[in-house]
A and B are shown apart, each in its own frame.
Chain A
């Protein structure tokens, strides 16, 4: 009998590095040296944070480029970076640096931001909380998924992939490893979701719909 799926939720607290940038060159310098945790945090906090209206772009770097630097082209290029195409944070850092460096070669450097709009580099510390909810079959999985909050999706999807270095999210791995006979296509369907297009709340409802579809 395979191990049941154990649902975790998480709490993230923000640790500040004390480093900040008021123009693009300082930003780039810090980006090259800042911790991996900081890059992960700024690429992902959008997904965990509850929003009444989500920011226009799903990572802090793109939002800053748009709102503070007012460089829309740079913002769009940064927003289009999909972290799921990379297997570790260093690769993401390299890509961020490449995008900004190319931009600086192509366009005049943006003016420094006005006071109060500087970019502050933070890091996230994640505390993982067991929910006590487990699933050994699709029906149990569906019930537990309804119970957990969006932080569970964040942990099993985003944290699992990039921070814990797993090759795929925990949900599709469970369906392919343990429930492939019961629901053969579900792992692929979940894998085909583009998590960087949704907040964790929306992604949760998408996964719920896919699981409910299999239960019919």
Chain B
């Protein structure tokens, strides 16, 4: 995978900027650390981004912290609490969090010119900082955190040189530089690459989903913040007017123990309905997800909290109109009435689905605009450019106009 592969997809100026910035940082070490090698947007992004950075001459490395089941239960609690949904972890939980992080700090070589620590799970690794620029990359919505949890985590975050959030409203009062960089999708990954109609049809057949009616699709982890139960309610309202199917497709990540409970609730609610298809996808189902998105008529992402919601970008890239919750990074992707619709309720979701099923021409226009919007703003090339620009800017901290 090299930058040249993106010529004809990304803008030339964007590629020129990457080459120039990478030239200025050639041979230097750039380490990314997260908590899972598979499942979830961060792992997907790093799988693609690291080889590309290496191809640009940067000594880029991706390290995954090792955690126990108990540790991931704690970090799920921290995650939910930062999103304002649960109380703070107990003292015992913080002890587990600290000891697992410290064990990883001993195990991992984090000597680099620039270190990006992704999300709260490995945040404590900053204690190991000796040199280089350390950046905390937060992918989750912390606009309304539990105040105690944030207060305790903030102690760690303050030890970083900078923090990155996906959306402006996630910024916090912190004594360090905070940047807004949205995540991205890779148009050449298995999840987004063009597929033939035959392959799309074959995937629907394999999952036993007849393509005899319009298909509404939500792809997400089985997580209460993604509101899969609300999606089923909206689907039932739509079906009074239009025959259609609903596909809820999701996987579980190794750091997401809550997923199984939500999946049970979803299965219970959908039981006996032949038009609702629940797919529990194993890791490495990217091509299947790609096909499901391409075969869908309308894509939903009815989240009530969201970090960024990259699945929205994936669907828009495939020219699908997206109806999605007005939360987190979704409004950056879904421009209301231009690339899809933003909704705030089960009824709003049902209403917009009915509108688009009634008006396929409008659906097509939204989808076309969606692809262009993603191409210009949310591709991996722009993301790499922004990371390199930030690294370069942090080396010249006092300036806001930097000649590279």
Q: Does B180 contact A (CB under 8 A)?
A: yes
Contact A151 B20 (CB under 8 A): no
Contact A16 B400 (CB under 8 A): no
Contact B401 A9 (CB under 8 A): no
Interface locus among A102-110, A116-124, A171-179, A188-196:
A116-124
Contact A15 B179 (CB under 8 A): yes
Task: From known contacts A50-B377, A53-B369, A120-B168, infer whether A149 and B180 are also in contact, taking CB-CB under 8 Å.
Answer: no
Q: Does B36 contact A (CB under 8 A)?
A: no
Contact A13 B339 (CB under 8 A): no
What is the 8 Å Cβ interface bit string for chain A, positions 123-156, against chain B (1 contact, 0 not)?
1111111110000000000000001111110000
Q: Once bound together, how far apart are the Cα atoms of A73 and B158, in whole Å?
A: 42
- Residues of B385-404 whose CB lies within 8 A of A: 385-386, 389-390, 392-393, 399-404
- Residues of B161-186 whose CB lies within 8 A of A: 165, 168-169, 171-174, 177-181
Residue among B171, B339, B372, B399 with the highest chain A CB neighbour number at 10 A:
B171
Contact partner of A9 (CB less than 8 A), chosen from B13, B174, B327, is B13
Q: Does A52 contact B (CB under 8 A)?
A: yes
- Closest B residue to A14 using CB positions: B180
Task: From known contacts A16-B178, A18-B178, A149-B13, infer whether A52 and B372 are also in contact, taking CB-CB under 8 Å.
Answer: yes
Q: Other than A52-B369, A128-B404, A130-B404, give 13 A-B pairs with Cβ distance below 8 A.
A: A16-B180, A18-B171, A18-B173, A20-B171, A52-B338, A53-B338, A116-B327, A124-B400, A125-B389, A125-B393, A127-B17, A129-B17, A148-B13
Task: From known contacts A52-B369, A125-B393, infer whether A16 and B20 are also in contact, taking CB-CB under 8 Å.
Answer: no
A46 to chain B, nearest CB (A): 14
Contacts of B173 in A (CB 8 A): 18
Q: Does B21 contact A (CB under 8 A)?
A: yes
Contact A13 B16 (CB under 8 A): no
Q: Does B294 contact A (CB under 8 A)?
A: no
Q: Once bound together, how far apart are the Cα atoms of A49 and B335, in whole Å?
A: 14
Contact B21 A13 (CB under 8 A): no
Contact B165 A128 (CB under 8 A): no
B312 to chain A, nearest CB (A): 15
Q: Does B373 contact A (CB under 8 A)?
A: yes
Q: Does A37 contact B (CB under 8 A)?
A: yes
Contacts of A131 in B (CB 8 A): 16
Q: Once bound together, how far apart are the Cα atoms of A9 and B20, in whole Å?
A: 11
A18 to chain B, nearest CB (A): 5
Q: Once bound together, how far apart are the Cα atoms of A37 and B168, in whole Å?
A: 16
Give 17 pairs: A residue, B residue, CB < 8 Å, sorted on A. Answer: A11-B386, A13-B179, A13-B389, A15-B177, A16-B168, A16-B171, A53-B338, A53-B369, A116-B169, A122-B180, A124-B400, A125-B393, A127-B393, A128-B401, A130-B20, A149-B13, A159-B401
Contact partner of B402 (CB less than 8 A), chosen from A50, A118, A128, A151, is A128
Q: Does B288 contact A (CB under 8 A)?
A: no
Q: Once bound together, how far apart are the Cα atoms of A53 and B368, in whole Å?
A: 12
What bracket does the count of chain A residues touching chain B fall in? 35 or more
- Closest A residue to B344 using CB positions: A116
What is the 8 Å Cβ interface bit string for chain B, positions 1-29, against chain A (1 contact, 0 not)?
00000000001111011001100000000
B402 to chain A, nearest CB (A): 5
Q: List the 3 shortest-distance A-B pairs measured between CB atoms, nearest first.
A: A149-B13, A50-B376, A16-B171
Contacts of A50 in B (CB 8 A): 376-377
Contact B400 A125 (CB under 8 A): yes
Q: Once bound together, how far apart are the Cα atoms of A159 and B11, in whole Å?
A: 21
Q: Does B326 contact A (CB under 8 A)?
A: yes
Contact A127 B169 (CB under 8 A): no
- Closest A residue to B387 using CB positions: A13
Contacts of A9 in B (CB 8 A): 13, 16-17
Q: Once bound together, how far apart are the Cα atoms of A91 and B376, in whole Å?
A: 33
Contact partner of A163 (CB less than 8 A), chosen from B386, B389, B401, is B401
Q: Once bound together, how far apart are the Cα atoms of A151 and B376, in whole Å?
A: 13
Contacts of B13 in A (CB 8 A): 9, 148-152
Q: Once bound together, how far apart are the Cα atoms of A128 and B327, in whole Å?
A: 33
Contact partner of A18 (CB less than 8 A), chosen from B16, B174, B338, B372, is B174
Q: Once bound together, how far apart are the Cα atoms of A53 and B343, in whole Å?
A: 20
- Closest A residue to B169 using CB positions: A120
Contacts of A53 in B (CB 8 A): 335, 338, 369
Contacts of B172 in A (CB 8 A): 18
Contact A16 B165 (CB under 8 A): yes
Contact B402 A125 (CB under 8 A): yes
Q: Once bound together, how far apart are the Cα atoms of A164 and B335, in whole Å?
A: 33
A120 to chain B, nearest CB (A): 4
- Closest B residue to A53 using CB positions: B338
B126 to chain A, nearest CB (A): 19
What is the 8 Å Cβ interface bit string for chain B, positions 321-352, against chain A (1 contact, 0 not)?
00000110000000100110000000000000
Contact A13 B376 (CB under 8 A): no
Q: Once bound together, how far apart are the Cα atoms of A120 and B392, in whole Å?
A: 24
Contact A13 B168 (CB under 8 A): no
Q: Once bound together, how far apart are the Cα atoms of A28 and B317, in whole Å?
A: 39
Contacts of B177 in A (CB 8 A): 15
Q: Once bound together, how far apart are the Cα atoms of A14 and B164, in whole Å?
A: 10
A151 to chain B, nearest CB (A): 6
Contacts of A147 in B (CB 8 A): 12
